[in-house]
Amino acid sequence: MTENGQVLVTGVGARTPVGADASSSWSALLAGKSGVRALEEEWAADLPVSVAAGLTEDPAAALPRTRARKLDRSEQLAILTSREAWQDAGAPEVEPERLAVVIGTGTGGVLTTLGQDDLFEQSGARRLSPFAVPMLMPNGPAAWVSMDLGAKGGARTPVSACASGAEALAMGLDLLRAGRVDVVVAGGVEACLHPFTLAAFAQMKALSPQFEDPESVSRPFDVARSGFVMGEGAGIMVLERAGFARARGARTYGALAGAAVSSSANHITASDAAGQVHAIETALRDAELTPRDIGHVHAHATSTESGDLAEAEAIGRAVGTHAAVTATKSMTGHMLGASGAVGGLAALLALRDGVVPAVRNLDTLDPRIELDVVRGEPRTGRWHAALANSFGFGGHNVSLVFTA
């Protein structure tokens, strides 16, 4: 691929259930640490699930109190994580009109929506916050980050359920290749741990009902898996045109070499291997790579039987069985709209460091899964390219390809 079409990653940021930044999150994943904990809050007492993966630190505590109270938790996360990635990239000097923001989310400011609705019902209209609307709107995280960084090249918000963060990265890649901007701050964010959302996911039998030993509940690919664990977090990358990054002497993590978005168009919640195969194969063509070039796959793998089996089939058909496969939701839980961006970050850092995290809690691999799933200890090696998958309710399929 020519330099004009190449897109480099120059900065990363993350806030996850296992770490307060990208570096600590990555170290925790390699160490096999779990962020899943028992829900001991009073509001969780009557819920049908009793575990979740919350953040290690409250984002509100890192912002001035007057600022934090005007922001939904998802917006707080987006601002802090984008600042981390921006500083990690060296705070590029770029014309405001050549800087864009793309931050996806699955539920937006749902905590504000639910909290303000409770207040309205209890105390009436006059008690509502004047900031409620900008706090609840899904484009809030992207909008606030654009203002924080002075980005005038567009503030975009893909909302595609659990594929939102990955789709944001794919959109950023398209903007840079089209030459519309020089730098894009892209990724995903989600903060929706609330009795309503937990109960709703539990009602559709998506969440694991297991409660003993919380750290063992999320178990992708394991024969004893029983559903996913809901989490929260954010993952952000700074993407740059290769020529722009090299001209300023930027340090790089690698390249976002290809991406693809497909829609299965067959069921609102069920996984579909055919649609996933289409996304993976298209992403590989976009990156000008073959299946054999992929040394590592970061699987979406949420720890549901149907989802894990469909993706395993898709990986086998589109990539083969030679690649080292991991699933870090075994440690972070499922961060919904942030998961694709954090998964992409894990795939990128695996290439940089030559090590793939092991899947936690994988005691007995489901015999129907014929993949080289990394378990026990991290896998070391040197790989040129990695694939990161992300799939969402509605039939949204996104595959990203990173190269070292």
**Helix ranges, 54-191 (H):** 65-68, 73-88, 110-123, 132-136, 140-149, 164-177
* CB contact at 8 A, 218 and 333: yes
334 is an active site residue: yes
- Exposure string (b/e) for 40-78, b if CB count within 10 Å is 16 or more? eeeebeebebbbbbbbbeebbeebeeeebeebbbbbbbb
pLDDT tens per residue across span 347-359: 999 999 999 999 9
249 Rama sector, left if φ>0, alpha if ψ -120 to 50, beta otherwise:
left
Residue 359: closest CA among 280, 276, 294, 301: 301
> Tokens 């923001």 correspond to what residue?
101
Which member of 192, 300, 322, 384 is catalytic? 300
From the CA atom positions of the chain, what is the Rg in Å?
Answer: 20
Neighbours of 189 (CB within 10 A): 39
- Domain boundaries of the chain, sorted by first residue: 7-248, 260-403
Name the active-site residue from 194, 278, 298, 334: 334
User: Comparing C-alpha atoms, which of 102, 399, 391, 103 is closest to residue 260?
Assistant: 399
DSSP 215: G
Q: What angle do CA 301, 304, 307 make, to 5 degrees?
A: 60
Catalytic status, residue 267? no
CATH architecture of 7-248: 3-Layer(aba) Sandwich (3.40)
Query: What is the pLDDT, as a whole number, of residue 3?
Result: 62
Structure tokens belonging to residue 101 = 């923001």
- Give the span between the Cα atoms of 111 and 134, in whole angstroms: 13
Q: Are 132 and 151 in contact (CB under 8 A)?
A: no
- Active-site annotation holder among 162, 192, 296, 298: 162
What architecture is the 260-403 domain classified under in CATH? 3-Layer(aba) Sandwich (3.40)
> Which residues of the chain, if any, have pLDDT below 50?
none
pTM over 0.95: yes
278 noted as active-site residue:
no
Residue 212: the pLDDT is: 92
| Same topology between domain 7-248 and domain 260-403 | yes
